[in-house]
Copies of this chain bind each other. A is one copy, B any other.
Amino acid sequence: MKSYNEMTTEELMALKEQLTSEYEDVKAKGLSLDMSRGKPAATQLDLAMDMLDVLTSSSILKSENGTDCRNYGVLDGIPEAKELMGAMMDAPADQVIIYGNSSLNIMYDTISRSMTHGVMGSTPWMKLPEVKWLCPVPGYDRHFAICEHFGIEMINVPMTEDGPDMDLVEKLVSEDDAIKGIWCVPMYSNPQGITYSDETVRRFANLKPAASDFRIFWDNAYCIHHLYFDEKAVLLDILKECEKAGNPDMVYKFGSTSKVSFPGSGIAALASSKANLEYIKKQLTLQTIGHDKINQLRHVRYFKNYDGLMEHMKKQADIMRPKFEAVLDVLDKELGGLGIGSWIAPKGGYFISFDALPGCAKAIVAKAKEAGVVMTGAGATYPYKKDPSDSNIRIAPTFPTPEDLAVAAEIFVLSVKLVSIDKLLESR
């Protein structure tokens, strides 16, 4: 395959004509396909339906320590739920708080509390002249939206294949005490599917931040979301590494079963040092009497333990893997060697990250949309929705059916080709 860059203008013009005709044909079909959000498909949700049968009117709804899960009480979760989520999140049960249905909500609340009350006695961030945050890019749009909402200045940190650029992270956090946090999706990162190397995790644990209230926001959303169970990524336990490094309070781990059981009806948790948890519980006890213990019990009785979770996730992977492979096949076949885009084949998580020629992402997403394929908005993977090189596009292959996905991927690559040709011609 000849790269587009090597083609003559005439060749590109001819190709454009042919591709435009193909594009108009699919556009005429009036399709409506969605590769925009990391949503499980209905077939994945079907896998957890038996969870609805584990608690019935004849069940005894008591936790293992005798608590009546139907009544008020238990701020931080029933013991067996802490055990289960701790196993999933690589944390001892006594360093876990079980929350409601959303880890995003925990992250939001954690920042909100820091804004109004600081962190373990530090000055409330709202009282500081400025608060800054490190954002590995490309990253998760909902993380960035929280910072933007609170007026926190976001600083881009490039991702490498081992995780964020740690030279830059170390330099920035040690120099500027206005930097109070960093977003991390350390395993099968959103959107690139990168898992942080052991060295990256150790360097995180050994940071020497200028701000005593600097915290690593470790959003391990995809910790058991492997696509290939025989070549699972392995992530070092940052909580333990932070302890070893003498920085026990520097990290908050977030996790949930949103993409394990039912999104919106799962359970979410925070794992951290006991000192952090004690501080957090002082506020949490004012915010709520407790979270949904019946749903905690339902999850534990259904999944039982870590092995149960893994068995379940293997079934999910069997559904997801062919979808990822279908998209990657189309990318390989249609774009391989053309020099108009690059991507990483992820081993887990929910996304494929695609980098187009600089200046092309917005136009590609618009082009795909015109032909009926909704992608995540270009720029969404960057703070303030501003991708400086207008290049990154997040592909979410899980929600559509395999048939729809094949069509959507074809439309996507067609859009990439057409926009890239225009861009190349423009610069000649």
Contact B149 A283 (CB under 8 A): yes
Nearest B residue to A48 via CB reads: B70
User: Hey, which chain B residues are within 8 Å of A108, CB to CB?
Assistant: 286-288
- Nearest Cβ distance between residue A400 and chain B, in whole angstroms? 13
Q: Does A326 sit at the interface, judged by CB under 8 A?
A: no
Contact B116 A263 (CB under 8 A): no
User: Hey, which chain B residues are within 8 Å of A104, CB to CB?
Assistant: 287-289
Stretch at the interface among A55-63, A233-241, A356-364, A384-392: A55-63
A286 touching B145 in the complex, CB below 8 Å, given contacts A53-B57, A59-B52: yes
Q: Does A124 sit at the interface, judged by CB under 8 A?
A: yes
User: Hey, which chain B residues are within 8 Å of A52, CB to CB?
Assistant: 55-57, 59, 294
Stretch at the interface among A35-43, A192-200, A418-426: A35-43
Could you say which of B56, B68, B117, B295 contacts A42, with CB atoms under 8 Å apart?
A: B68
Q: A70 CA to B286 CA in the complex, in Å?
A: 30
User: Hey, which chain B residues are within 8 Å of A149, CB to CB?
Assistant: 117, 283, 286
User: Hey, which chain B residues are within 8 Å of A145, CB to CB?
Assistant: 286
A263 touching B70 in the complex, CB below 8 Å, given contacts A104-B287, A108-B288, A295-B292: yes
Could you say which of B42, B116, B258, B288 contacts A105, with CB atoms under 8 Å apart?
A: B288
Could you say which of B42, B53, B57 contacts A71, with CB atoms under 8 Å apart?
A: B42
Could you say which of B71, B283, B295 contacts A39, with CB atoms under 8 Å apart?
A: B71
Contact A53 B56 (CB under 8 A): yes
Q: Does A112 sit at the interface, judged by CB under 8 A?
A: yes
- Nearest Cβ distance between residue A378 and chain B, in whole angstroms? 20
Q: A427 CA to B269 CA in the complex, in Å?
A: 56
Nearest B residue to A150 via CB reads: B116
Q: A156 CA to B149 CA in the complex, in Å?
A: 34
- Nearest Cβ distance between residue A62 and chain B, in whole angstroms? 10
Contact B289 A72 (CB under 8 A): no
What are 13 of the A-B contact pairs (CB < 8 Å)? A51-B57, A52-B55, A69-B265, A74-B264, A100-B100, A104-B287, A104-B289, A108-B286, A115-B116, A116-B116, A116-B126, A265-B292, A292-B292
Q: A71-B262, A72-B258, A265-B292 are in contact. List 10 more A-B contacts (CB 8 A).
A: A69-B265, A70-B262, A100-B100, A104-B287, A115-B116, A145-B286, A149-B286, A264-B290, A264-B293, A295-B295
